[in-house]
Structure 1
């Protein structure tokens, strides 16, 4: 039987799930057909779901995004059993005012010249679709799922608050 997954148009659910997870695995398309993933630091997500990442203008990921704007982001917080997958489109932004607005001094390790570094760019990600799995780590819930599977032969079906597809409106 196929999974029954709730669909929502409330992107704030995704933002809430990832707001405290700072590192995402960003996957772009390399050479037209190969996937290329790397960890990226996410600045504070905007309420509308827009995600921002600092990068270098001359980086490989910028070249890849300019060839194909489709990207995937994977967020996980195993300690909270929270997992989020986002499909979106990326755009390279070199707006100096936006760079200064989003600048955080902890980024200086990657950009020693600060927010005025001429090689800084931003990747602006617009969410096309996202999916989250938010499974409580409760021993009781896992025991319930196990007993249900053994007794009935059925697996636990997450409720919409634990698994949902989000498609921004």
Structure 2
């Protein structure tokens, strides 16, 4: 994933937190008010604070996001005990420059006609804010902190929780 967010900003930190997480879960609200999540590959976090994905124009998420542009994108890296939840608003387009910039041969699995596939759309989620959780140190240090917290009244340092603005 490309991280083009300006350095020393919350958005850049968001990009760093998610850069090596290949698949995110996009959650939308459907017409009956319930929530639905599905996996997507994040291709880029641009300088304007938009997460960019490719999606199929015929997918249900397009209708969901047309009815209600609010969305959540969740990232998890269990191996590093890192979790991120992003709130934002969606918009869709067929911007050829973005498609050509982010196209890779692997995309052909989903869009057999290549970058000019009529079903290929760019999905952009404008980051409103994000919450993240990162575990402290390694497993042994976390286990020690957890045990210490159980035995005395000192708070355990099990990691960092933060909030980022879009």
SS of the residue aligned with 1:27?
strand
Quote the Cα distance in structure 2 between the aligned partners of 1:20 and 1:47: 18
CA distance in 2, matches of 1:156, 1:141: 11
1:28-47 alignment runs, 5 A limit = 28-47=28-47
Q: Is the 8 A contact 2:145 2:158 kept in 1?
A: no
Q: Which has the higher contact order (CA 8 A, sep 6+)?
A: 1
| Corresponding residue pairs, total | 159
Q: Which residue of 2 aligns with 1:143?
A: 143
CA RMSD after TM alignment: 2.0
Please give the residue correspondences for 1:72-151 in structure 2 after superposition, counting only pairs within 5 Å: 72-136=72-136, 138-151=138-151
State which of 149, 158, 161 in structure 2 corresponds to 1:163.
Answer: 161
Q: Which 5+ residue runs of structure 1 have no aligned equivalent? A: 1-8
Name the CA shift for 1:51/1:152 in 2 (closer, same or farther; >3 Å): same
C-alpha spacing 1:148/1:47, structure 2 compared with 1 (3 Å): farther
5+ residue gaps, structure 2, are: 1-8
Instruction: Give the secondary-structure state (helix, strand or coil) at the position aligned to 1:11.
Output: helix
CA distance in 2, matches of 1:80, 1:139: 10
Runs of 4+ deviating beyond 3 Å: none
Residue in structure 2 matched with residue 3 of structure 1 by the alignment: none
